[in-house]
Structure 1
Amino acid sequence: MKATEVPEIAGAFLFEPTPHADERGFFSRTFDADVIRSVGLDPHAFVQDSISRSVRGVIRGLHLRSGAGEAKLVRCSYGKVFDVVVDLRPDSPTYLKQAHFELSGETQATVYIPAGCAHGFQALTPTADTSYRIDRPHDPAEDVTIAFDDPELAVPWPLPATLMSARDREAPSLAQVLKQKEA
């Protein structure tokens, strides 16, 4: 497994496994504590695993958590997604920058998203399963959502949005979220 820093987002990493393929399909290690440790992360910090299944065009996000935030490892285990990370840490050298990835079940690549960054994705295939490994238990009271179509961010979603939750559809702008953080 290879770990690469993501230049657009300070502290973010892309982990690319080495799948072993043959006529049966493939085998791939998707998490390796030694590789995680090699980039300065604590592999034991991750406390919950979750998975979402989405249909083509679905957008989930842009999500982050208030308070201490939430660091996560995200990968598409089946299908393909357009993945987005936005740095919302005011003291970060990459504040307000974004990085985009195409994550797929073919590559099994994983993105490490530092706490304080917003995250979202759009399903590009008829079915896309996205796996999350997060570093603290989920508390819905800390959920923050930013409008997926915020003009200040201008995320280049590759497909028209088909479906999304009411929470995502009615999310406030980045400016409104930042103003609430200051209050």
Structure 2
Amino acid sequence: MRIERTELADVVVLVPEPFRDERGLFTRTFDAAEFDAHLGVDGAAASFVQDSQSRSRRGVIRGMHGRGGRGEAKLVRCAHGAVHDVLVDIRPGSPTFGAQQAFRLDDADFHHLYVPPGFLHGFQALTEVADVCYRIDRPHDPAEDLGVAYDDPDLAIGWPLPVGVVSARDAQAGSWSRLLATLGSSH
């Protein structure tokens, strides 16, 4: 497994190296020792306490979600299908504060995205069915939920497909400027 840096500070992509033969393939989807070695924190992998999965239809957008307080770290992968995954750095003081980056996660390359605390996260399903798996380091606390509308003009996220279904929560999410005020940022 390789670990690649991204344009966003502290975000990495874990790149498995599947073994393929006439039977199909086998791949390791996570290696705690390699993950910890890359982060330089012994036991970081063990901090993941919850695994969740979503299933979405083509065009569905989920996001842009974040977490206040200590935030949450997550490891995200697409187990079936493909998604256009987007991150926005919301860490005041970060060298990439306000920057966004998109990633393709799919069931062909098996890339995993490590999202440290302090990011908005969302994705759009690119295939008829897309299953996204999340490994999260803290139990969910709805009181810490943060959100910015997927179509906020200040973020201007370039979703690749026409927008399909969006939850009521995501459709009513706040604006980037309101989140900045909440964070107490001068950006």
So what's the TM-score if we normalise by structure 2? 0.94
1:151 to 150, 153, 157: 153
Other structure's SS at 2:143 match: helix
Distance 2:102 2:143 in 1: 28
Instruction: Tell me by how many angstroms 1:29 deviates.
Output: 0.6
- Runs of 5+ unmatched residues, structure 2: none
RMSD over equivalenced CA pairs, Å: 1.2
Are 1:37 and 2:36 matched, yes or no? yes
Distance 2:23 2:55 in 1: 24
Are 1:178 and 2:177 matched, yes or no? no
Within a 5 Å distance, the mapping from 1:17-56 to structure 2 comes to 17-40=16-39, 41=41, 42-56=44-58
Equivalent pair of 2:61/2:125 in contact (CA under 8 Å): yes
Are 1:117 and 2:116 matched, yes or no? no
Equivalent residue number for residue 15 of structure 2: 16
- Runs of 5+ unmatched residues, structure 1: none
Distance 1:144 1:152 in 2: 16
Deviates most, 34-43 or 111-120: 34-43
Equivalent residue number for residue 105 of structure 1: 107
Equivalent residue number for residue 4 of structure 2: 4
1:140 to 117, 136, 142: 142
Instruction: Tell me by how many angstroms 1:23 deviates.
Output: 2.1
So what's the TM-score if we normalise by structure 1? 0.96
List structure 1 segments (4+ residues) > 6 angstroms apart after TM superposition: none
Within a 5 Å distance, the mapping from 1:120-131 to structure 2 comes to 120-131=122-133
Equivalent residue number for residue 165 of structure 1: 167
Distance 2:22 2:140 in 1: 40
Equivalent pair of 2:73/2:114 in contact (CA under 8 Å): yes
Q: How many residues align?
A: 182
Equivalent residue number for residue 80 of structure 1: 82
Distance 1:21 1:140 in 2: 42
Distance 1:3 1:165 in 2: 33
Distance 1:2 1:176 in 2: 38
Residue deviations 1:120-151 (CA, integer Å, cap 9, x gap): 00000000000000111111121111110111
Other structure's SS at 1:39 match: helix
Instruction: Tell me by how many angstroms 1:26 deviates.
Output: 1.3
Instruction: Tell me by how many angstroms 1:24 deviates.
Output: 2.1
